């Protein structure tokens, strides 16, 4: 078995929101499927940290869920800032069950065990330049991350964290999220959200004793990154 990760699929198979108008996104669905099926085996696990579908509702996102379900492996999904289809974990899991999407799992205030590790995470938060900090949202996301890591702690296994938003970017740091990572001794953190020229300022490497890695789909050429 192997563990992979890739964020920001930005699928729109059930809506009219093409991404291939952007540089680097040409034929991205075909490239994603080809790369995925070449390396991911049925017994493998892939974590997808957010921005899964442009669908505004579950029904609009159904074709995207079906596409992901048709790919090899178990898929663990987090919500991103553009996942407007998401309302609650229960409703999402019920919809997936009703449609036979039994390879999809939701990471939300919980954890998943993978061999000697527990997989934890949440959407996270990042204030854009010039915007006033939204402390309410930030503290809520820090709390959700703590809940996930607390569940992971019960397993006695080493945590690996997945976030949609980067907790570090250029010289900026999200102290509330970083404090939780430090509290639970997290050593590895994978994140998405960053696209285009902004990827040049992304942190790929160690900061504050944690190894951070950007795994946005376009950054990794729509080729899932092997973690374990």
**DSSP string covering 92-159, please?**
HHHHHHHTT-TTEEE-SS--EEETTEEEEEE----PPTTPPP-HHHHHHHHHHHHHHHHHHHHHTSEE
pLDDT on residue 129: 57
Measuring CA to CA, which residue among 96, 76, 78, 70 is closest to residue 3? 76
pLDDT of residue 131: 53
Q: For position 133, what pLDDT does the model report?
A: 58
CA distance 5 to 215: 7
What's the chain's average pLDDT? 95
Model confidence pLDDT, tens digit, residues 42-63? 999 999 999 999 999 999 999 9
Q: Per residue in 107-121, pLDDT tens?
A: 999 999 999 999 999
Give me Rg for the CA atoms of the chain: 16
What is the pTM assigned to this prediction? Answer: 0.96
Distance CA 29, CA 197 (A): 21
Query: What's the chain's length in residues?
Result: 228
Q: How many angstroms separate the CA atoms of 81 and 193, rounded? A: 8
Per-residue pLDDT tens digits for 88-113: 999 999 999 999 999 999 999 999 99
Which domains, ranges and CATH numbers included, belong to the chain?
A: 3-226 (3.60.21.10)
Residue 160 pairs with which residues in a beta bridge? 119
Give me the pLDDT at residue 22, please.
87
Higher pLDDT, 130 or 101: 101
Give the DSSP H or E segment for 59.
Answer: helix 58-70
Q: In which element (H, E) is residue 180 found? A: helix 175-183
Q: Can you say whether the dihedral through the CA atoms of 90, 95, 101, 106 is positive or negative? A: negative
pLDDT band at 136 (very low <50, low <70, confident <90, very high): confident
Neighbours of 12 (CB within 10 A): 19
Model confidence at 156: pLDDT above 80 = yes
Look at residue 18 in the predicted model and tell me its pLDDT: 84
Taking 90 as the threshold, does the pLDDT of residue 21 lie above it? no
Task: Give the strand order in the sheet containing 188-191.
Answer: 112-114, 117-122, 158-163, 188-191, 210-214, 205-207
Instruction: Report pLDDT for 135.
Output: 81
- Residues 80, 164 contacting (CB under 8 angstroms): yes
pLDDT > 70: what percent of the chain?
Answer: 97
């Amino acid at each position: 078995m192997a563990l992979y990760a890739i964020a920001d699929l930005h699928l729109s198979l059930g809506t009219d929101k093409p991404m291939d108008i952007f540089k680097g996104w040409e034929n991205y669905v075909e490239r994603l499927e080809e790369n995925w099926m070449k390396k991911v085996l049925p017994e493998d696990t892939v974590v997808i940290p957010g921005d899964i579908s442009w669908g505004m509702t579950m029904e609009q996102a159904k074709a995207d869920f079906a596409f992901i379900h048709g790919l090899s492996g178990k898929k663990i999904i987090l919500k991103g800032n553009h996942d407007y289809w998401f309302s609650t974990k229960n409703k999402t899991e019920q919809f997936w069950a009703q449609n036979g999407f039994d390879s999809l799992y939701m990471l939300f205030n919980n954890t998943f065990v993978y061999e000697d590790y527990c997989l934890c995470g949440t959407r996270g938060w990042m204030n854009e330049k010039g915007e006033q900090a939204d402390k309410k949202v930030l503290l809520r996301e820090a709390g959700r991350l703590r809940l996930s890591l607390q569940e992971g702690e019960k397993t006695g296994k080493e945590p690996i964290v997945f976030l949609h938003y980067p907790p570090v970017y250029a010289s900026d740091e999200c102290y509330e999220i970083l404090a939780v990572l430090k509290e639970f001794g997290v050593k590895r953190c994978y994140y998405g959200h960053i696209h285009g020229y902004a990827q040049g300022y992304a942190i790929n490497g160690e900061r504050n004793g944690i190894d951070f890695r950007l795994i946005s789909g376009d950054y990794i050429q729509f080729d899932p990154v092997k973690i374990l």
